[in-house]
Chains A and B, each alone.
Chain A
C-alpha cells in the first residue's frame, strides 16, 4: 500500500493579495518564495505518519504545477516523503478545479499501489476545497473530507474521524480513499537538515500530458469556471473610540452602555 499526498505550491502566508484591473497578484515584501500550501503541510505530515504508523510502503508527494513547483516538492521530501512527482505541461495552464482533478486522477492511476490519497482541506490561494472530492469522483474512489484523525487501516478498510461544525464522526470505509484533512489532525514536523540535503540530491521526475491517460479536457480552454469579475473588497471605513474611565469597572459600564446604545447587544 502506498500513500500519496497531493500538494500545491502557493504564495506564502505573509504575501499580500491585490487585484489590479482584474489581474490577481501576491507580493511578499519580505521576498519569501512560494511555499507548500500551508493546509497541505498537515496532509504531508499525515502521509508520513501513515507510512510510520499504518504500514504504508511509501509516502509519495504529487504536485501539478509549473516547473517552479519542484521547490514545494523538495520541502515534502525534506519532511520525510520517499518520493516526489511533478505533473507539468504547458497545456495544463489555466485548468479549473475539474481540469486539475482530471490531471491528478490520471497521475494517481499511474502510481501502482496507491490506496490512500491525502489532500489539505483547501489551498490558500483558490480556497475552493473542491479538488479532493473531484479527484475521488474521477477515480471512482471514496471521498472523505474534514478528516481530523486516521484511526486505523486494517486489511481493505480505513477508519477515520471527521471534524464537523457540530461535533466529530467516525467513518469506516473501503480502500482506496481520497481524504482531505483539517489542521487539527497533527502538528507538521520541520524539514530536517538531513532531509533538506536528501531532497536537494533527489531527482524529481516530471510527468507531462503525454505520460498520462487523461480523460476529459484540461487547461484554460476546457475550464468551466469563468473568472469574469475579480475585484478586491473595498476597505472598510470606521472609527476607533477609546472608552475612558477611572477604573476598569467604570470603563466596562461605559462600554456596555455604548453597546446597548448602538444596539450591538
Chain B
C-alpha cells in the first residue's frame, strides 16, 4: 500500500498553497468587511488562475482544462479550503455536469466556461424541495420545440456572477414499482432569458462575500436544444456530479481545518497564562491532539474516496463518509479553536471566528449530515434486503 503523493501532486500542492497565500488570503479581510468580491478582484483572480492553469482544473486536458486526476483535484481543493470561500470560487472549477454538453452546446457553453469566458451556476434546491430533491415543484412543460418553465429555486450559489444556470425541473411523471415518480430534466438557461429573474437570496451566517440567490422562472421558454443530457433523465447526469461536489466540500473542510489548527498551535505555544504557554496545559494540548487526529482521519477518508474514483471503484457511500466526517470534523475543530483562543476567538479581527461561522453550512449543503448517514446506512443494510 503506497500512500505517498507523486512528485507532480506535491508540486501542485505547493503551487496552489503559494497561490492561495499570495493571491487570495491578502483579500480575506476586505471580503469579510465588504461582504463581496470587487469585480476587478474577481477578474484579477480569474486571470491569474487561467494564466497558471488552475482554472477549470477539473476539466479534461483535451477540452482546455488541467485534466487533474481526482486525487490531485482533491489536493487542490484542500489548499483552496485554506482561504475564503468567496475568493476561491474565482479559481473556478465549473460544474462537472457540463461535460454532458453535446453538439452546439459544446461551443456555446462547455468550452467558453472552461476558457473562463462564461460562468455557470447550478439550480437544484427549492423552498419545498431541499434534501428531497425529487420532490421539486419547478415544472417544465413541453410546448413544441420548447419547454415552458415555471417555479422557484433558492440557495443557488454564484447565480449573481453566472452567465447561465444549469436548471433541474420536473418534466413529467412516471409509474414505478414504488409508485408515481417525477421525471427530471436538466436545462441550460441563459441569464436574461425572458421569464427568468435572479435576486439576492438570504443573508446567512456562513461565508461572507459569497451570496446565494433566488431564481424565479415565470413561463420562461427554453428550446429543447438546451436540454443537458437526456430528456427526463436529468438525475442520471446529476448523479455523476454529486460525488465530485461532496468530495470538494470534504477537501475544503480538511484545508480549512488544517489552517485553523496551525493558528491554534501558534497561539497555544505563545499565549502565556499563569507563567507558561497555555499549550503546556493538557486542557489545551489534548484539544490540539484531537484536532490533528481527526483532521488526518478526514483527509485520508477524502483521499481514499478520490483514489477510488480514479480507479472507477467509488460508491456513493465513499463520498458520503468523506463528506460526513470532514464536515463534522471541521465543526469540532473550529469550535475548539474558539475555545482555545478564548475571548479573542470571538473577535472579528481573528480569522478563527469566521472559520467557526463558515463551518456551520458545510454540514448542511450538498447533502446534510443526515442524508449522508442515510446513504451510508442504506448501503450497509442493502445486502440484507429481500433475505
- CB pair A196–B8 under 8 Å, yes or no, is yes
**Are A191 and B51 neighbours in the complex by a CB distance under 8 Å?**
no
Query: How far is the CB of A197 from the nearest CB of chain B, in Å?
Result: 7
Chain B 1-43 near chain A by CB (<8 Å), digits 1 or 0:
0000011101110110011000000000000000000000000
Asked if B15 and A191 make an inter-chain contact with CB atoms under 8 angstroms apart, the answer reads yes
**Cβ contacts under 8 Å, B8 to chain A:** 196-197, 200
**Complex: how many Å from CA A75 to CA B12?**
10
- Contact, CB under 8 Å: B10 / A193: no
Report the separation of the CA atoms of residues A34 and B356 in the bound assembly, to the nearest whole angstrom. 33
CB contact between B7 and one of A30, A190, A194, A200 (< 8 Å): that residue: A200
Q: Are B6 and A196 in contact (CB under 8 A)?
A: no
- Answer yes or no: A62 CB below 8 A from chain B CBs: no
Quick one: which of A30, A32, A196, A197 has the most chain B CB within 10 A?
A196
Contacts of A200 in B (CB 8 A): 6-8, 11
Q: Is B52 among interface residues, defined by CB-CB distance under 8 A?
A: yes
> What 1/0 flags go to A151-180 for Cβ under 8 Å of B?
000000000000000000000000000000
Across the interface, do A74 and B52 meet the contact criterion of CB distance under 8 Å? Answer: no
- The distance from the CB of B300 to the nearest CB of chain A, in whole angstroms, is 15
Check A192–B7 contact: CB distance below 8 A: no
Residues in A whose Cβ lies below 8 Å from that of B66: 193-194
Residue A78 at the chain B interface, CB threshold 8 Å: yes
- B53 contact set on A, CB distance < 8 A: 192-195
Residue from A71, A190, A191, A192 having most chain B Cβ neighbours under 10 A: A190
B198-217: CB near A (< 8 Å → 1, else 0) gives 00000000000000000000
B11 pairs with A192, CB closer than 8 A:
no
CA A193 – CA B75 in complex, angstroms? 13
**A66-104 interface with B by 8 A CB criterion:** 71, 74-75, 78
Determine if B321 is an interface residue (Cβ-Cβ < 8 Å): no
Query: What B residues does A196 contact at CB under 8 A?
Result: 8, 11-12, 15
Chain A residues near B11 (CB-CB < 8 A): 74-75, 78, 191, 196, 199-200
A194 contact set on B, CB distance < 8 A = 53, 66
CA distance A74 to B54 in the complex (A): 18
B57 within 8 Å of A by Cβ? Answer: yes
Tell me whether A205 is interfacial, beta carbon within 8 Å.
no
Q: How far is the CA of A194 from the CA of B52 in the complex (A)?
A: 8
Which residues of B (65-90) have their CB < 8 Å from a CB of A? Answer: 66, 68
Q: Which of B321-335 contact A (CB under 8 A)?
A: none
Interface size on B, residues (CB 8 A): 18
Bound-state CA distance A189–B11 (Å) is 14
Q: Which residues of A contact B51 (CB under 8 A)?
A: 192
* Residue of B51, B53, B262 with highest tally of chain A CB at under 10 A: B53
Instruction: Tell me whether A140 is interfacial, beta carbon within 8 Å.
Output: no
List the A side residues contacting B10 at CB < 8 Å.
33
Q: How far is the CB of A74 from chain B (nearest CB, A)?
A: 6
Minimum C-beta distance from A12 to chain B (A): 9
Least CB distance, B26 to chain A, in whole angstroms: 14
Q: How far is the CA of A195 from the CA of B14 in the complex (A)?
A: 13
- In A197-239, the 8 Å CB interface with B consists of 197, 199-200
**CB pair B7 A193 closer than 8 Å:** no
Q: Which residues of B contact A190 (CB under 8 A)?
A: 15, 18-19, 52
Beta-carbon contact of A74 and B18 below 8 Å? no
B63 nearest CB across to chain A (Å): 14
A190 to B51, CA, bound (A): 10
CA distance A30 to B21 in the complex (A): 15
> Nearest-CB distance from A55 to chain B (Å)?
23
Q: How far is the CB of A102 from chain B (nearest CB, A)?
A: 30
Please indicate the chain B residues that have their CB under 8 angstroms from the CB of A30 in the complex.
Answer: 262
B229 to chain A, nearest CB (A): 28
The smallest C-beta distance from B28 to any residue of chain A, in angstroms, reads 19
Q: Taking CB as reference atom, which chain B residue is nearest A193?
A: B53
Closest to A196 in B: B11
Q: With A and B bound together, what is the CA distance between A33 and B4 in angstroms?
A: 13
**Closest CB of chain A to B145's CB: distance in Å?**
41
Inter-chain CA distance A190–B19, complex, in Å, is 8
Q: Which residues of B contact A199 (CB under 8 A)?
A: 11
**Apart from A194-B66, A200-B6, A200-B8, what are 6 other A-B pairs with CB-CB below 8 Å?**
A30-B262, A78-B15, A193-B53, A193-B57, A193-B66, A194-B53
Interface residues of B (CB under 8 A from A): 6-8, 10-12, 14-15, 18-19, 51-54, 57, 66, 68, 262
- 8 residue pairs, one from A and one from B, having the closest CB atoms: A193-B53, A200-B8, A193-B66, A192-B52, A192-B53, A196-B11, A190-B52, A194-B53
Q: Which residues of A contact B (CB under 8 A)?
A: 30, 32-33, 35, 71, 74-75, 78, 189-197, 199-200
28 inter-chain pairs at a CB distance below 8 angstroms, sorted by A residue, are A30-B262, A33-B10, A35-B14, A74-B7, A74-B11, A78-B11, A78-B15, A189-B52, A190-B15, A190-B18, A190-B19, A190-B52, A191-B11, A191-B15, A192-B51, A192-B52, A193-B12, A193-B15, A193-B54, A193-B68, A194-B66, A196-B8, A196-B11, A196-B12, A197-B8, A199-B11, A200-B6, A200-B11
